[in-house]
Amino acid sequence: MGRFNSLEFGKQNAAAQTAVQNVPEAKLHGEKIKDAQYFIDAADKAFYCFDYEEALKLYSKALGIDGGAVPAWSGQAFSLINLEEYHEASMWLSKTIELVGESQPVLALLALTHARTGDFDRACGYADAALESVGNSPLPWIVRGEIFYYARRNAEHCFEQACGAAGHDWQTRCLIADTCLFCDRKKLAAMAVKFLHPMLELYPASPEIWLRLGRCHTVLGMAREATAALDQVSSLAPGLKILPKFYAEVKKIGLWNRLLGHFR
């Protein structure tokens, strides 16, 4: 229960059971009221900038205000999955269903948890249930794409279905890129770039998109392009925690390319 203690699990149970509702967004003395949505938005920002520990804390704060906030429940589980804490994620998702019920994202994340721990029968069952559930979330299609890739089926078709459900949502494209890089960095990096590029025309100032382009170009051995993408991130979101790590990866690629060039 160590991880759950840090997430203030008991407080979230109480908040969910009393069905606390979000306070409508408003301003008081020129500042936004720090309601549940305020913390969910901040948590999403941390999540899509790869700061999953910070995202966990912020989703927890949201649930401390509104225990029925499904995006915060699923956001915590997704953060745990990305931290490779699969057992904790599975427990969290079970508790989510118990307290706030099933939803497409929750079922999809259960499928993802089982897929990444090698339980593909359960993964497929939850993936099917997510797609059959009420809603139009793109997440079930993204997760099905990952499962299809493991089964050597057409993952790209699933990702395209996710984009069709999401419209011009940049977060969906980022999740597809993350999935591609998790499944097979070298083989799927170019596919990830394909899904990311159209979003730059709509969201040229999104550090989250540029971060993933930098990662993809690094994997593809394109040090110059990767550096340019990360430089964009540095100008848009200076001080981002993950940047030094990504720059270090690019530096290794550049050194390797120079060594190869020397011996040719």
Give the pLDDT of residue 185: 80
For residue 28, CA distances in Å to 65, 66, 95, 107 come to: 18, 20, 35, 38
The three-state secondary structure class of 27 is strand
Which among 174, 169, 144 has a CA at the least distance from the CA of 156?
144
Tokens of 153: 């089926």
Give the pLDDT of residue 38: 97
Give the pLDDT of residue 188: 95
Domains 1-20+31-101 and 185-264 belong to one CATH topology: yes
Give the pLDDT of residue 9: 52
Higher pLDDT, 27 or 247: 247
* pLDDT tens string 46-83: 999 999 999 999 999 999 999 999 999 999 999 999 99
Which among 2, 95, 4 has a CA at the least distance from the CA of 56?
4
Confidence (pTM) = 0.88
Across the chain, what does the average pLDDT equal?
Answer: 89
User: Would you call 69 exposed, middle or buried from its count of C-beta atoms within 10 A (0-12, 13-18, 19+)?
Assistant: buried
What is 185-264's CATH number, 3.10.150, 2.60.40, 1.25.40, 1.10.20?
A: 1.25.40
* pLDDT tens string 218-238: 999 999 999 999 999 999 999
| DSSP string for 53-113 | HHHHHHHHHHHHH-TT-HHHHHHHHHHHHHTT-HHHHHHHHHHHHHHH---HHHHHHHHHH
CA dist., res. 255 & res. 196, Å (int): 27
CA dist., res. 44 & res. 46, Å (int): 5
Give the pLDDT of residue 22: 40
Give the pLDDT of residue 144: 98
For residue 29, CA distances in Å to 41, 65, 121 come to: 21, 21, 54
Give the pLDDT of residue 4: 58
- Domain boundaries defined on the chain: 1-20+31-101, 185-264
* pLDDT tens string 174-220: 999 999 999 988 889 999 999 999 999 999 999 999 999 999 999 99
* pLDDT tens string 93-125: 999 999 999 999 999 999 999 999 999 999 999
Which among 80, 58, 89, 65 has a CA at the least distance from the CA of 14?
65
* pLDDT tens string 1-28: 456 555 555 555 554 444 334 434 445 4
Give the pLDDT of residue 261: 46
Give the pLDDT of residue 184: 86
For the domain spanning 1-20+31-101, the CATH number is 1.25.40
